Amino acid sequence: MSERRGAGGGRWRPGGRAGCSPGAPRAPDGAGPAPEPESPRPSPGAEGASGRPDPYCSSSSEELEADPGQPRLRGRSSDAWPLSPAASPPPPTAPRDFEGPGGAARDRPAEESLRGRSSDAWPLSPAASLPPPTAPRDFEGPGGAARDRPAEESPGGDAAAAEKAPPPPTLYVQLHGETARRLEADEKPLQIQNDYLFQLGFGALWRVQEEGLDSEVGCLIRFYAGKPHSTGSSERVQLSGTYSVRKGKLHLPVSRWARRQVTLCGTCLIVSSVKDSVAGKMHVLPLIGGKVEEVRKHQHCLALSSSGPQSQTYCICFDTFTEYLRWLRQVSKVASQRISSVDLSCCSLEHLPANLFYSQDLTHLNLKQNFLRQNPSLPTARGLSELQRFTKLKSLNLSNNHLGDFPLAVCSIPTLAELNVSCNALRAVPAAVGAMHNLQTFLLDGNFLQTLPAELENMHQLSYLGLSFNEFTDFPEVLEKLTAVDKLCMSGNCMETLRLQALRKMPHIKHVDLRLNLIRKLIADEVDFLPHVTQLDLRDNKLGGLDAMVFNNLEVLHCERNQLVTLSICGCVLKALYASSNELVQLDVCPVPNYLSYMDVSRNCLENVPEWVCESRKLEVLDVGHNQICELPARLFCNSSLRKLLAGHNQLTRLPERLERTPVEVLDVQHNQLLELPPSLLMKADSLRFLNASANKLETLPPATLSEETNSILQELYLTNNNLTDKCVPLLTGHPHLKILHMAYNRLQSFPASKMAKLEELEEIDLSGNKLKAVPTTIMNCRRMHTVTAHSNCIEVFPEVMQLPEIKCVDLSCNELSEVTLPENLPPKLQELDLTGNPRLALDHRTLELLNNIRCFKIDQPSAGDASGAPAVWSHGYTEASGVKNKLCVAALSVNNFCDNREALYGVFDGDRNVEVPYLLQCTMSDILAEELQKTKNEEEYMVNTFIVMQRKLGTAGQKLGGAAVLCHIRHDPVDPGGPFTLTSANVGKCQTVLCRNGKPLPLSRSYVMSCEEELRRIKRYKAIITEDGKVNGVTESTRILGYTFLHPSVVPRPHVQSVALSPQDEFFILGSKGLWDSLSVEEAVGAARSVPDALAAAKKLCTLAQSYGCRESVSAVVVQLSVPEDSFCCCELAAAASLPPPSPGVFTPASGAAARERPADGLGAPSSSSGLASEMSSELSTSEMSSEVGSTASDEPPPPGVLGEGSSCDTPL
């Protein structure tokens, strides 16, 4: 496993100016969730999201049509201002969830009018769009913010002129840069904006008004006067450029070559009629079903032809061979698609484009995520009632259109086999649906349905009916008549009891999905057996016990995350059992499950492994981790099918002594009380490839062979945090195929060179936390080695790691190095060298110059000194490590002297799989907090507002990407400056803080996931779809997290905030990313940090333990040691003691911490190697879309007076 680490430390002293060491900033290279595969996407007509020409039409000379029946901008009325936050969700018929500025609505004089305003609407991505010849009129200012106009702009005087004036354009609202929706006649922009900002988490009306004035809110909510033609355009453009174009076949002499703008948009080729411009007439060539031919007479030339008897041909000559290949690949893919399938999803459609009806042979139509209406207001517009004209339509997707009422027209399409009307706020299904006799798939998920009409029984071919996330309290009776339906999908409803008698009446049902209901009990009602049910899913309910013996043919049972104490199952045909995260003390399966292959009963209260498990001859995977098991049965290892055994986090004191030939390939027994491993384990387990015995009490290892020959195929060995001594090292040579070896935090004093020489296939080694004085020189024999981690030892001589051709990461921090010996040329793949925490190390100028060629080189920076000599109140250390994919998706923030040397600020940010969001959070949050401190003294208020403001600061990056964050702020109580220090922690996602008080952990954070009842209720209220892996719309399992604005209001950035007064009993606190807390309990983390006196070494230890325990993702830890005196300090005394002017808030000025190579002028640490330093920031984060304050933590200017002072409330009037 490759690793990327960063480290730093610093100390704060009263009256002194100490430095601080941030986590290294990284250039973004992450990407959000992969989009779902799409069908061919022809551009829509005038109602499409794209401003480009209609692919069905030969011209783009469409004009903006102002609908006189649509809402105009009116003068402000009293009800435009909410009297209280909008806490309830929008009504089911109300479209989507509304948001704020960048199209921010503002007050206007009552006499103001839109007439006379003719400037263009502001597009979100002007560079990526093809503007139509006539653009819609504008209702917004820069960033999308709506601007006030003086009363003089209103037309006046001449009534005749007023009558001739064009009608004002329709108002549109756009959320998160996605599709734009027309406002209804009774909707007010300012009310919509205020409701959205209240929904984000702002608590005060004055703050909502202030936030609404910021143009940056345009990335969240934006208003337009007239339809924004740029909406969605950039997604449809695949290729674009200016090339030599000729219309018609080459053998025709009438046409000439001319330079024209050519664009491949959706499934069409668009050719402009003017050179280097998209103005004028646009020629559109549909490519689906057409031909793509290579023209051999001309270099880099393609001939593109449309299908049909009246096909047209365009010949295009490209400038380079690379462009030629790129276009050939894309247009060939489009031309090979079916002409009978059309994708018009996410196009802001309000009615069906006229061009859609040119093809009567349409069989598949995707209209999801639009704003289609049953009966459009325009008399010429085509509503959903026109869908019945498609007499050959088989598949229709109308999901996420906020219809409110079921579209009756679809009931008149006799050929329809698949219909999706999910997430449309439907409250009833009409009886007319019974006319769809050929319907096979009917999706009604995410609505407000409580009943179904009896006429559904006429759908004799219906095989799949989706009813998840509705309001059903019982099984609809009509399900008894739908005999072709074999899966009952009713997850996320309101069922409190499961009536087995109702299931008995549905013998055709084989798969029952009832997860995320409120089921507390099963009512048998004299039911003997239910042999037809083969799969039962009861995850995330409230069951205290489950007797599933009535399901005598059950193959798969899911009952995770209930409150089960007892579980009884019929094992006749049982194949898979998932029962983790309960309170099980008894598990009965009868008869013996001879077909059982997978069993997960982890995180329960079992004290032993049931005997019947040993008799399950086909069992391949067994997970009994996180229980109270004291002994594993010997017969378990004799199972000829068992491949994976996970028994970590139990109370095992020994493993079975006598082991025969066991087929186990993966064995995890970490976090037990093992004193030794069975002597025959590694000899008999000749299939063993992975062994994790970390966090035990092992003092030695069993031999792999009794002779020189060995059959061991062991590849990964984790033995961290044991009591192993030098005696065990020779035994490692019995595993010649070893690739990963972790022996950190043992009692090793040496590693014989002869033994290392025999581990030639070794790729990664971690020997940290021992007492090694040297790394053997024979490490050069390990030619595949890419990661060497040996921090926290006593190493005095720099090892020969620079001779390794594949080396990428070397961590020798916290040792006793005095010099570094380097070859003439550094290894070509070396990305990181960490030498921090070596106080005796002195590098000459030549060595420093050579090491500066490493992408991320870390070394201690000489201390700036401390003029006051006062004792340190807090000091910190941090570290970061990348995951197995070598991407560092975490970042750390550490500011020891925040706000005039009297406060401190620390943070950890986790982007899961993206680099971009953690980088932005690291650069920006300290500035935002400094500004919020000037507006309020309340800890919860300024922390909450900091996170919400950060939501808009993420800009377009936060629309599709997201990240967890934890922020800790230390300060004196502003009301009582002579009082104690206060530690305020705020977090979203799974980044958390734990305070060590009197040697015991005190959690200060909370993780908001589906297991939180209040969060689950909120998510259900907004009809979000929770996938089987517990993620909102399949994206994130956290319901409170920064970014992912497209999931609003289901996912919000409001943090959990907790403040505690620090006392002398508080030793330190730990900030960690998701990977840290998923691998370590708070108790173990506190115990590990207490055992290391230095903050930097403590942070290093936490990350090393997490990786050895199985963490495969990026991990970061910040440890802040505290030394709070008995007598509290006074703020004025601290300020008077300072001998140097303070840095601006958020400046990372290293004092005694780590200095990274390539430290830019802004004072930030250099990016880590795996962060993609060489790559530029995503084009989405342009300066026009991101605040100029992003990265302004590097300012050399002193902070404003309000920051240096105690802070005062904002005096902005309401």
Distance, in Å, from the CA atom of 1022 to the CA atom of 1048, rounded to the nearest integer, reads 9
Distance, in Å, from the CA atom of 406 to the CA atom of 400, rounded to the nearest integer, reads 13
pTM of the model: 0.78
Q: Where are the domains of the chain?
A: 6-18+872-1009+1056-1203, 78-232, 234-338
Rounded mean pLDDT for each run of 10 residues along the chain, 1214 residues in total: 49 40 39 40 38 33 33 36 36 38 40 34 34 38 40 45 64 90 90 93 90 91 83 61 84 73 85 70 82 88 85 90 90 82 86 80 92 79 87 94 93 95 96 94 97 95 96 95 94 95 93 96 84 96 94 96 96 97 96 96 97 94 97 90 97 89 93 94 90 96 86 95 95 94 96 92 96 93 94 93 92 93 87 91 87 86 51 86 83 88 91 93 94 91 96 93 96 77 95 96 94 91 92 94 95 96 94 96 96 93 96 95 74 37 33 38 34 32 35 35 35 32
Residue with tokens 């620090």: 1062
What letter represents residue 412's amino acid? S
Query: Two tokens at 690?
Result: 């992975």
Name 498's bridge partners: 522
Distance, in Å, from the CA atom of 996 to the CA atom of 1119, rounded to the nearest integer, reads 11
Residue with tokens 């079916």: 338
Q: Do domains 6-18+872-1009+1056-1203 and 234-338 have the same CATH topology?
A: no
Predicted pLDDT at 110: 33
Backbone φ and ψ for 850, nearest 5 degrees, come out as -70, -40
Backbone φ and ψ for 1171, nearest 5 degrees, come out as -85, 0
* CATH class entry, domain 234-338: mainly beta
Predicted pLDDT at 457: 94
Predicted pLDDT at 252: 57
Check: CB of residue 612 under 8 Å from CB of residue 633.
no
Check: CB of residue 905 under 8 Å from CB of residue 1179.
no
Predicted pLDDT at 141: 39
Hey, CA dihedral for 1169, 1173, 1174, 1180, is it positive or negative? positive
Query: Two tokens at 499?
Result: 């009536």
Residue 1118: C-alpha distances to residues 6, 21, 890, 1099, 1111 (Å): 11, 11, 12, 6, 17
What letter represents residue 281's amino acid? K
Q: Which residues contact 1103 (CB under 8 A, 6 or more apart)?
A: 5, 879, 880, 881, 1076, 1115, 1116, 1117
On whether the 6-18+872-1009+1056-1203 domain is CATH 3.60.40.10, my answer is yes
Q: Which residues contact 361 (CB under 8 A, 6 or more apart)?
A: 339, 340, 392
Predicted pLDDT at 853: 85
Phi-psi domain of 308 (left: phi exceeds 0; alpha: psi -120 through 50; beta: other):
left
DSSP 745-814: SS------HHHHHT-TT--EEE-TTS--S---GGGGG-TT--EEE--SS---S--GGGG-TT--EEE--S
**Total residues belonging to the chain:** 1214
Angle at 782 between CA 778 and CA 784, to 5 degrees: 160
Q: What angle, 0 to 180 degrees and rounded to 10, lies between the N-to-C axes of helices 939-953 and 916-933?
A: 140
Q: Which residues contact 326 (CB under 8 A, 6 or more apart)?
A: 239
Residue 66: C-alpha distances to residues 63, 226, 783 (Å): 9, 7, 71
Query: Two tokens at 604?
Result: 């329960």
Predicted pLDDT at 161: 52
User: CA 447: distance to chain centroid?
Assistant: 26
Q: Return the DSSP state at 1140.
A: S
